[in-house]
Structure 1
Amino acid sequence: MAAKDQVDSLTEEIVCPICLHFFTDPVMLECGHNFCRSCITQSWDREGRNSCPECREQFTDRTLRVNRALARLSEKARTLSPNRTKKESKLQCEEHQELLKLFCETDKKLICVICAGGREHRDHRFMLVDEAVETYKDQAKSSIQSLTKKELEIQRMEQQQKQKISGVLEQSLNLQSKITSQYAELHQILTEKEQRTLADIREEEKKILNTMETNLGKIQENFVMTTFLSIIIEDQLHFSFDY
């Protein structure tokens, strides 16, 4: 069982996720996932956009890198399993190893003829797989179209939201720039007013000091004159008393 699981795991690595066959001309996308060249190009043409079917990552251009190692492994596996292509196209029942030829309308699943006769599907309605494919083809097509339309609508809403976010960011940056400019202008005005006020204070200080220094000079002159007169008067008094 372990060996079978390893083989199945290895097989999954060399099977295209789209066509479920061994890779033919495998190419690698920028996201790292591999597909047959024809499968991925047809998928992109069908969807009208360049996106990975595995991770849904979108690409600006169709950059496809050839995976030569995977091509060699796929070719070896195809040589060792020549009947795999037929078996892949005809799914088998895991329980009875019979081809899944019937579609159970009640359980909405593929079953084999042995399953149809079992107790689990008693009184269920069945139809051939080919008939079921034709019956549900239109429903599937309608569902795909509906999903595609919804996906496009979601993408449109996503784009609109991104544009709104971009607009808000742009408005925020413009407002920040405007506020910064206004505060810089206001700072310049306040700085100039500060310089003028300081200059006025220094000028007023100079005037007051000049006046006070002039008064001080006069006071000092008066003091000298008063002292001189006092000395003269004192000398005269002594002279008078001597006579």
Structure 2
Amino acid sequence: MAAKYIFDSFTEEAVCPICLDFFTDPVILECGHNFCRSCITQSWDREGRNSCPECREEFTDRTLRVNRALARLSEKARTLSLNQTEKENKLHCEKHQEELKLFCETDKKLICVICRDGREHRDHRFMPIEEAVETYKDQVKSSFESLTKKKSEIEQMEQQQKEKISVVLEESHNLQSQITSQFAELHQIFTEKERRVLADIREEEEKIRNAMEKRLQEIQANLNSIQKELSTLQEQIDQKDNGIFLKVRGYTTVAK
């Protein structure tokens, strides 16, 4: 923890207050503050005056002196920062805070050199992480190649199945078209047949109707004749004059 505090304090001195990164071509102003040459130049161009961004002191001209000591310090800080970052990125043992450099083949886990000498891993088999990675990468590559081959086979099966489905769909479409066409023909035939049958029925209907209407007319004529006769007979029945009744009926003759 103390080492990190010292490292952070050291690197802070090598950071430009404008870009907040390690100094690049650091220069010192007359007031004693340091900046990257490009940072302070751009700041002055932006502000339109030659003033220090830290203390706001203004200068009559742009006098920039190279700070070689700070340049060397910044370069060292940059190198240390990269090393620190690389170190922090490495895996460490949670128990001993040592870098994990070994792979326990027995337990299939990463361990440090202190773990290796403990009772937990006694009589276990170890190998350097680099060798373990190489060994298991070969296994992974083998699995990858096997799976790639299997994928290729399945893709081929998929393509074949798609082709079969396409064939079935095409055959089904052709069959549907054929059935539709055949039923259209049958429909036309039955429609024509229906037209002829209906025409025959209407013709036969007209013949029968004409004959029946003729017979009806005969019946109605006979009925009218009877009705006239009935009317005549009714008039005779209703006649009050006996002579006229007998005369109308033809039962008497008039004397000459």
TM-score by length of 1: 0.49
Task: Kindly name which structure, 1 or 2, has the bigger radius of gyration based on alpha carbons.
Answer: 2
